[in-house]
Structure 1
Amino acid sequence: MTPEEAYSLRLISDVKISEIGLFHVETWIEKEKYKSAIFLNKQQITFSGNEASPVYHEGYLYYVKSTKKEAKLIRQKPYGEAEEILSLGKIHKYVFHKQGILIIGEEKVRPSSPFIANKLKYRFDGKGFFWTRQSLFIFDKELRKLVYGNFDVTDIATNGNRVIISATKENDDYGLADIYEVDVNTGELKRITKGEGNISAISMNKEGKIAYLGHRKGKTPWAIREIIFPEEEKSYLCGNTCGSTVLSDLFDGVKEKIIYENDQVITLGQVGGEAHLYSVADKVNKLTEGEIVVRGFDYKHEKLVYFYSTPEKPVLMVQDGEIYDPNPNVKGISPVHIKGEIEGWAIITDPSKPTILFIHGGPHMAYGYAYFIEFQFFAKNGFNVIYANPSGSQGYGEEFAKACVGDWGGKDMRELINFVSEVKKKFNLTGKFGVTGGSYGGFMTNWIVTQTDIFSAAISERSISNLVSMCGTSDIGFWFNAIEANVQDPWSKDGIEKLMRMSPIYYVKNVKTPTMLIHGEIDYRCPIEQAEQFFMALKMNGVPTELVRYLGDGHEHARRGNPKNMIDRLKRKLEWFSKYLNN
């Protein structure tokens, strides 16, 4: 398999039930660019290659047509001409209200020098400097700004009368959100939620009752999420956590959502490496089964449509019991499930061939039953692929997710090393071992090569090497690193010492493993200075190393980066591991 073949997939990123049938959006890569189109009843109906977010409303099809510079809301009658309704820099979501169309969007801006920072959070990965923020607009013949400020409006829901939003108004620096009721005439806000917490998605039924996916546990990245009814002071858990943190490197760009219709909420819920659909009313009911990861859905008039991923299939869409597969000729190699000290999986192609351990990021994300382009690429190029969910992973309860806090590189590393030994013995593996991971997985890769020589090669991506410098350079590092390290003040003497002793750079003199570092040039989550430090130290100590810098890419360089860079990345990773593991 070539890298080009690995990325030659058609993915589903959205589904929408309507009175004229089922709309869905497909995304693919063509000539090193992302493309998307809208389908009605599985027939393509838009052809410019940049249409998404379809909604059928009062006889019109509405959708968003985007370029790098702007996003347009388009309205079209069946068989009629497309009509541009409005234009913004970006359109994140739109809903219909009796007074007009409510839109979460960003204004068009032309950056000028200098940029003045006056908050802790003044830039964000994937967005860059905050020249503009996500605001709420209303459109009725003309566009009017309704809710705005130096914070983000993150979601919106309405029944046509009542309007609620989620926004980071109270605690934007830390990304904590609240729900507010909006007066559409004045823009005045009435706060509904209490305390502090995370809100991933909101919804409202026709009666005006509201629900959200999230938690009210403050700055706790490891917290499980629930479906919460704030005005009724009720909450429900779906599986081991509501929503899904199961990772994939599919470039579909799916977003988290919940749907509140009549008296029930439809949501995702996660148990280990599976993500399923659940309904929440007076009780919680699981709606799907199997070793799958549901990635998106829609529910309307008691009809449910969803799409899911498996290790063998990138995406399958289910409607009325029928399955639609946009990639009929693609079939991944099935992994063997391993339930030992921790849950893991192994794709064994040949016990005599090299084996690569993949380590996920987060640290509170999880591997599971989703298709992974990179796993299949290496397996089909003759490598064994193994991956697992050590302490810190979500999907096994809050205590397990919290177990790595203050102990990065401790219990989690021991579990991974034990997992490697277990797999080696179980399958009688005789080849060399390599290790790779991104973000927190990049931290773990850097950490492991300072602690052990059992791996013959390593590739560390968008990694962390110095937790102290990251506190001052990352978009979230100033609070995230401190909380994850269990440090009260990252700038105190004790705080700096603990952070340094938890940093791979502190032990870099121990490294003997050939280590490649891959990083996006504009990564604001784990800034490229993290890779620069580790690369420089390895180079000065005579360790075989390379630093690969991808211009224009941020933290998502391996999942939603520049397609040309993603293809080049797989080539370079294959060359590095082939060089050091195949001899």
Structure 2
Amino acid sequence: MEFMGLKIEDLEKITFVSDPKISPDGKKVAFVTTKPSISDNKYYSKLWIYDIEKDEYYHVTNGPSDFSPFWAGDSNKILFLSRRSIKENEEGLELWVLDLKNKTEPRLVFKYEKGFQIFGHHPSKDKVLISLPTLKKKEEIKIIDEVPFWFNGQGYIYGERNALYFLDLNNGNLEKLTEGNEEIGFAQISPDGKKIAYISAEDHMRPYKTDIKLINLQTGEVTKLTQGQFSIEDLAWDPNSSKIAFRASDFTHGLNSHIKLWIMDLSSGQIKKITLSDWDIANNMNSDVRGPSSQGKLQWSEKWLYFPFNRGRIVSLYRTDGIGRIEPAVEGEFTVEDFTSFKDRVALTIMSSTRPAELYIYENKELRKVTSFNDEVIEKAKIQAPEYFRFTASDGNIIDGWVLKPTTFKEGEKYPAILYIHGGPATAYGESFMHEFHVLSDAGFAVIYFNPRGSAGYTEDFKDMRGKYGTRDYQDLMEGLDYAIKNFSFIDENRLGVAGGSYGGFMTNWIIGHTNRFKAAVTQRSISNWISFYGTSDIGYYFAEDQIGGDLGKDLWTGNLIEVYWDRSPLKYVNNVKTPTLILHSDEDYRCWIDQAYQLFTALKLKGVETKLVIFPGENHELSRKGKPKNRVERLNQIVSWFKKYL
């Protein structure tokens, strides 16, 4: 079979399907589609309805920026967020309501000068639970008195907090529910309408330490239900309003700890861990074609609590009765993305390595695909599946890997290959769609990728790379590359490239300082110097402390810890580098700040290594996944051109 692959500009032909919400009567599903436009340099999103009984879907808004649907009390009204009346370069967000029964135009309910979150409609009153950030006066001079002072994708955040409110949908009035000096994450109203459970971070210097708090709506009393022992992702009420399920890590392996499933009984205060084998209750898969999502990863529907389960290269949908029974609901060679439930009916989005996400319905033990937004582009491109393999590392661990052949493949010929390293390091490759990989395949390259030590989706010990960066993970990558070259005869070992972003960028930098086997490298949003990273990254002061080691506030400048940080920094080994290196970075990347790129570029230039630095203005750490379409296209053009030049 002849494969054609995807062109760079095919990005705008892909529809990102996301955020399904099943109606209160279980008969309809609201969901979102998002499409990039390269010429307009923006994303267009609108709301759709899938009618389960009629087996048809149709759009109910025309956008251009409608997302985050929530059913407003019954199955006839939908709340959604939008920027439809906000000017291009202005901040702000709006809440609209759409009457499906009377088929009137959407009505603007609320407008705010900054972005905000919506958490759902009250079960018996015409109001919605939202969180609003504080509004600060815009400052010419930044007067900063706290850490963190900025955050990736948000800019300067010092002095900002948010609070929970009820918003009356009839008159737009706000009722403030929280007053504390806290940052509020996920929140949900109990089914009986009497309580609100929400996630709170009170320690601003350690925002990953979070608690569940409970608001009694009859008395206004706020109670803290946990005591700092968790990093909590999201939560869900049981149908009887007597228990709260939540996904959280418990720091057993520091920031490398798995997300686990817990259930709290409010009457006794007892917290029970729902025991499962040693894999994440999360979706850790890499993809560059995801749409926006406004829901948590827990859904409690009558007797079943649904949750994601990341096991190796797949993400399944599992369920538990909360007592002892745990079983797979939807499982296969794919990744379950968003999901929503009504009784035993589940609406969910699913993607694979050969197909972007579409909407599916699961009921009566059957899974059926109900939308076909991407069928034409996939069939026309004749997308090929990567070849999956496993190899045994030198210490006995089993590593998952893949090779995607070039679309020009002919038996007996040799092809240049790119080793592509994921970020995190606690993310994973697997059955999820990567437009970029199919672009590289179409450009004539084989793409080699693995889940080395540090990847999510395996055991906690496998994932735990604290103090080990550049050691076992580097060995896994080199051993896996050797295995691929030996077992896939079409890979030309004399024309190898290496690429990666974030942690993958760090590892790319590390690799070119420790071996000259690669003829070209592309490092993106990378780390080159752990010493400067810890004080400039939005998470650096605690992430580096956890991952590299030590108490930075006490030890970095006074003990020998600075030597440890320098030993783990790719810049230390720059004198070994001979590989032509392309450096890609965004000037508003506060996760791996742009100083990391400047330092590496200057060092390589002074050493005489062939080097180019490309900076994307107005972009942040999410460039490859959520950046402006023109910048995403230019990024891919730069990568393909660099590898074609040197490979």
1:322 counterpart residue number: 368
**Which of residues 63, 73, 80 is equivalent to 2:104?**
80
**Which of residues 64, 68, 88 is equivalent to 1:53?**
68
1:346 counterpart residue number: 403
* Alpha-carbon offset, residue 76 of structure 1: 2.5
2:53 counterpart residue number: none
Residue 460 of structure 1 aligns to a residue in which SS?
strand
Q: Does 1:210 align with 2:210?
A: no
Code of the aligned partner of 2:416: P
| Equivalences for residues 376-391 of structure 1 within 5 A | 376-391=438-453
* C-alpha distance in structure 2 between counterparts of 1:108 and 1:47, whole Å: 30
Q: Does 1:291 align with 2:338?
A: no
Q: Is the 8 A contact 1:225 1:237 kept in 2?
A: no
**Which of residues 125, 129, 133 is equivalent to 1:106?**
133
* Alpha-carbon offset, residue 171 of structure 1: 5.1
Residue 524 of structure 1 aligns to a residue in which SS?
coil
1:528 counterpart residue number: 594
Alpha-carbon displacement from aligned partner over 1:22-62 (angstroms, at most 9, x marks no partner):
11111111222011100012201101211112222234221
* Alpha-carbon offset, residue 191 of structure 1: 0.5
Code of the aligned partner of 2:374: N
* Alpha-carbon offset, residue 237 of structure 1: 4.3
Q: Is the 8 A contact 1:123 1:129 kept in 2?
A: yes
Code of the aligned partner of 1:322: R
Code of the aligned partner of 1:14: D
* C-alpha distance in structure 2 between counterparts of 1:415 and 1:22, whole Å: 44
Taking structure 1 as reference, are residues 39 and 415 closer, same or farther at Cα in structure 2, changes over 3 Å only? same
| Equivalences for residues 89-238 of structure 1 within 5 A | 89-97=114-122, 98=124, 100-107=127-134, 109-130=136-157, 132-140=160-168, 141=171, 142-148=173-179, 150-158=181-189, 159=191, 160-170=193-203, 173-184=206-217, 188-208=221-241, 209-217=243-251, 220-231=254-265, 232-238=270-276
Taking structure 1 as reference, are residues 406 and 7 closer, same or farther at Cα in structure 2, changes over 3 Å only? farther
* C-alpha distance in structure 2 between counterparts of 1:149 and 1:381, whole Å: 54
Alpha-carbon displacement from aligned partner over 1:124-171 (angstroms, at most 9, x marks no partner):
111111163332111234113322555321101112221110111245
2:484 counterpart residue number: 423
Range with bigger deviation, 153-162 or 226-235: 226-235
2:539 counterpart residue number: 476
Q: Does 1:453 align with 2:510?
A: no
1:244 counterpart residue number: 283
1:27 counterpart residue number: 34
Residue 200 of structure 1 aligns to a residue in which SS?
strand
Residue 630 of structure 2 aligns to a residue in which SS?
helix
2:79 counterpart residue number: 62
* Alpha-carbon offset, residue 185 of structure 1: 6.7
* C-alpha distance in structure 2 between counterparts of 1:150 and 1:548, whole Å: 40
Q: Does 1:396 align with 2:405?
A: no
1:303 counterpart residue number: 345
* C-alpha distance in structure 2 between counterparts of 1:304 and 1:266, whole Å: 9
* C-alpha distance in structure 2 between counterparts of 1:345 and 1:38, whole Å: 36
Code of the aligned partner of 1:55: F
Residue 498 of structure 2 aligns to a residue in which SS?
strand
* C-alpha distance in structure 1 between counterparts of 2:374 and 2:132, whole Å: 33
* Alpha-carbon offset, residue 71 of structure 1: 1.4
Q: Is the 8 A contact 2:20 2:340 kept in 1?
A: yes
Range with bigger deviation, 257-266 or 456-465: 257-266
Q: Does 1:253 align with 2:292?
A: yes
Code of the aligned partner of 1:574: V
* C-alpha distance in structure 1 between counterparts of 2:256 and 2:343, whole Å: 35
Range with bigger deviation, 50-59 or 508-517: 50-59
* C-alpha distance in structure 1 between counterparts of 2:162 and 2:454, whole Å: 31
Code of the aligned partner of 1:200: E
* C-alpha distance in structure 2 between counterparts of 1:293 and 1:416, whole Å: 24
Code of the aligned partner of 2:457: G
Taking structure 1 as reference, are residues 573 and 327 closer, same or farther at Cα in structure 2, changes over 3 Å only? same
Q: Is the 8 A contact 2:11 2:36 kept in 1?
A: no
* Alpha-carbon offset, residue 63 of structure 1: 1.2
Range with bigger deviation, 509-518 or 203-212: 203-212
Q: Is the 8 A contact 1:104 1:134 kept in 2?
A: yes
**Which of residues 49, 52, 55 is equivalent to 1:40?**
49
2:3 counterpart residue number: none
* C-alpha distance in structure 1 between counterparts of 2:336 and 2:46, whole Å: 21
- Give the root-mean-square deviation of aligned CA atoms: 1.9
Q: Is the 8 A contact 1:238 1:269 kept in 2?
A: no
1:10 counterpart residue number: 15
Code of the aligned partner of 2:470: G
Range with bigger deviation, 452-461 or 404-413: 404-413
Code of the aligned partner of 2:426: H
Residue 200 of structure 2 aligns to a residue in which SS?
strand
**Which of residues 274, 287, 304 is equivalent to 1:264?**
304
Q: Is the 8 A contact 1:293 1:309 kept in 2?
A: yes
Residue 287 of structure 1 aligns to a residue in which SS?
strand
Residue 329 of structure 1 aligns to a residue in which SS?
helix
* Alpha-carbon offset, residue 266 of structure 1: 0.7
Q: Does 1:440 align with 2:449?
A: no
| Equivalences for residues 554-565 of structure 1 within 5 A | 554-565=620-631
* C-alpha distance in structure 1 between counterparts of 2:223 and 2:143, whole Å: 31
Q: Is the 8 A contact 1:14 1:25 kept in 2?
A: yes
Q: Is the 8 A contact 1:90 1:107 kept in 2?
A: no
Range with bigger deviation, 95-104 or 259-268: 95-104
Residue 626 of structure 2 aligns to a residue in which SS?
coil
Alpha-carbon displacement from aligned partner over 1:335-363 (angstroms, at most 9, x marks no partner):
11111121111112235111001101111
Alpha-carbon displacement from aligned partner over 1:225-276 (angstroms, at most 9, x marks no partner):
1111133321124551101111111241346421122333111010011101
| Equivalences for residues 480-491 of structure 1 within 5 A | 480-489=543-552, 490-491=556-557
Range with bigger deviation, 377-386 or 327-336: 327-336
Q: Is the 8 A contact 2:147 2:204 kept in 1?
A: no
Range with bigger deviation, 532-541 or 131-140: 131-140
Taking structure 1 as reference, are residues 186 and 87 closer, same or farther at Cα in structure 2, changes over 3 Å only? farther
Taking structure 1 as reference, are residues 111 and 381 closer, same or farther at Cα in structure 2, changes over 3 Å only? same
Number of aligned pairs?
A: 580
Q: Which has the higher contact order (CA 8 A, sep 6+)?
A: 2
2:54 counterpart residue number: none
Unaligned runs of 5+ in 1: none
Residue 173 of structure 1 aligns to a residue in which SS?
coil
